[in-house]
Every structure is written in structure tokens, then in C-alpha cells.
Amino acid sequence: MRQVLVRYKVKAARASENETFVRGVFEQLVRASPPGLRYRTLMLEDGVSFVHIFEADADGNPLADLSAFKAFTAEIGQRCDEPPVSTAFTQIGAYGTGAADRPRLDRSPMVIPLEILGIPQSNFVRAVRMACEEKALPYDLKPLMPHTPEVLAIHPLGKVPVLRHGDVAIAETRAIIGYLDATFPQTPVIPKAPDAAARTEQWISMITTSIDRALVRDYALAYFLPTGPDGAPDRQAIEAALPELQAKIDVLDAAVSGSDCLVDDTFTFADMNLMPILHVMLLLPESTAMMAKAKALTAYYERHATRPSFRNTAPPAN
Ligand SMILES: N[C@@H](CCC(=O)N[C@@H](CS)C(=O)NCC(=O)O)C(=O)O
């Protein structure tokens, strides 16, 4: 039998983040149910000292295979004022520990289902779904059109996506992403380092405003929501959109010509915001021709289109 006690003290500002990571481990443990393991985590009354008590019947560590445990341990050193110290121990006696050993999951944000409301064809809905996939967060998709009553109950302008998480309801893609990263800190989709965070925000802002407008609203929607005679696309609107379409594709091509992602080599929410838009561009003739000439942007798209988060969120074809 292996019995180990681990103690450490986290920075006050990171205590709730640490608690969320720990809750994530217990949530996954309940589902995985590895045999021969008894494991408890205690937070001391100072709110920053943690003690983990680990007992395994066999050698090895059944926690090591859990993605939630990997996420918990990945940056623990950076969260700590006093780093983890492990001590082996021998149990002399125990009484009535069974019920107390059971994790209390009722307050865990992981056990409250995440619901994304919005049609899967929406590039913004897909971006939020990609973030959930990258963060390994299970979610339910409710494929609602904009302006339906359930959407309007959350977004006063009726736009999708909106998010429901228990009593919490949030509108606007960037606000949803902020909530997800704060509530589930594993695999942040907005980097923590100030410089990388700011450059990610810079791209999110540009994509959500100017780039989405030029590529999706003014160009692609002229095809998908046609307003021309006999339900045909409005050719005049399409022609009028082409100069800005080309200008924005040029900007994006330059942005990824020297790096793997929009922000250095880290796949952030800026990329998750952009990839669904590029997918739409490759469905339409003028933008497909422009993409073919934008070599760096095409290579960027092809590189990231293989990611499970992108493949698992493909909208239905039609
Ligand atoms: N600023 C919003 C934009 C979302 C948006 O434009 N969604 C589209 C679907 S891709 C929509 O709901 N359109 C309906 C409308 O604008 O009334 C966000 O970032 O979430």
C-alpha cells in the first residue's frame, strides 16, 4: 500500500482557481472510479493551505492518467507560495471516514451542465463550441435561431450564441469565453501572460468587428440569406463587398505568414474565432479564389482544420 500526504500553500489570488482544479479531479474520479484508491483533499481554514491524502492499494498512481489531474498539476508551482511537499505516512487508526471521504460535488461548476444556445451554422456559436472542446468541457448544444424567445430572454438583441450554466446566463461570445476561462481554468483559451493576452484580445476584437462584418455579414450572408429577385443572391451587394473582402484576407494572410497561430504559436480564442469564418469563406466562389492566392492563410487553415475541436463542431452541410 502507498500512503502519501502532500501539503502546499497557494497565493491568495489563486486559491479559488486551485479549488476549481481540485473539484475537477474529484468530478473525473467519480466517473472513472479507479479501484484501490482512497483520496481526500482538504483546504485549511486560512483558505490557502491545501492537504491531499492519497492511499493506493498497489504501486503506481491511478490519478496520473486523469486529464483533470494533469491540468491540476500542470502549473501548480506557479500558483504556490509554498510548493508541494510530499510525506509518506502510516495510518494508525481511522473511524467513520467513509461518508466524509465521498467528494462533495454539489457545488462543483463541472457538474452543472453547460448549455450553448444557437444554430451550429453560426461562426460565433462554433467558436464557443471550439473553446469548450479545447478545454475538454462537455456541453449541450440547443440549435436555436437568433431572436427566438429563449435567446431573447438572455440576449436583449437576440443574437447567438448565448450560454446557460445553472443560474448563470450570458450573452456575447467574448463574455461567454471570459466566463468559461474563469470558471474552468484548465487550458485557458485567453493566455495568462499580459502581452500574449493583449495580442489575443486585439485579434478577437478585430475579428468580431471589422473582419466578421466584411467576410460574413456583408459578403457570405448575401449568399446564405439572399435578397435578390426570385430568391437569388443580390449580385450588387456581393460585388460591393469584394474590395473589403480582399483587403481583410490580405491582412489575415500577413498576420499568419510568420507564425503557427495569430498569437505566436499558441492556439488561442483568436484562432477559434477565425477558423469558422475561414470555413465559410471556402464555401463561396469569390472568397475561395482569394484564399487560393493567400498562401500563408490557406496553410494556416489546413493546419488547424485537423484539430478535433474544429472537426467535432462542423456544421451540418446544406
Ligand atoms: N457580438 C455578437 C455577435 C453574434 C452574432 O452576430 N451572431 C449572429 C449569428 S452568427 C446573430 O445572432 N445574428 C442575428 C442578428 O444579428 O440579429 C457576439 O460576439 O456574440
In a shared domain, residues 199 and 154? no
Cα 160 off chain centre by: 17
One-letter identity of residue 164: R
Cα(173) to centroid of ligand 1, in Å? 9
Span 21-63, pLDDT tens digits: 998 898 888 878 888 899 999 999 888 999 999 988 888 889 9
Looking at the whole model, is its pTM more than 0.85? Answer: no
Burial class (CB in 10 A: 0-12, 13-18, 19+), 6: middle
202: domain CATH number is 1.20.1050.10
Ligand 1 pocket check for 124: Cβ under 6 Å: yes
Q: Which of 183, 211, 228 is the last residue of a domain?
A: 183
Ligand 1 atom with the smallest distance to the CA of 123 is 10
d(CA 188, CA 27): 19
In a shared domain, residues 79 and 140? no
d(CA 127, CA 274): 8
Q: Look at ligand 1, atom 14, and give the residue with the nearest C-alpha.
A: 159
Angle at 208 between CA 203 and CA 209, to 5 degrees: 100
In a shared domain, residues 169 and 229? no
Tell me the longest C-alpha to C-alpha distance in the chain: 85
Q: Which domain holds residue 126?
A: 112-183
Answer whether residue 17 is part of any domain: yes
Span 225-279, pLDDT tens digits: 999 888 999 999 999 999 999 999 999 999 999 999 999 999 999 999 999 999 9
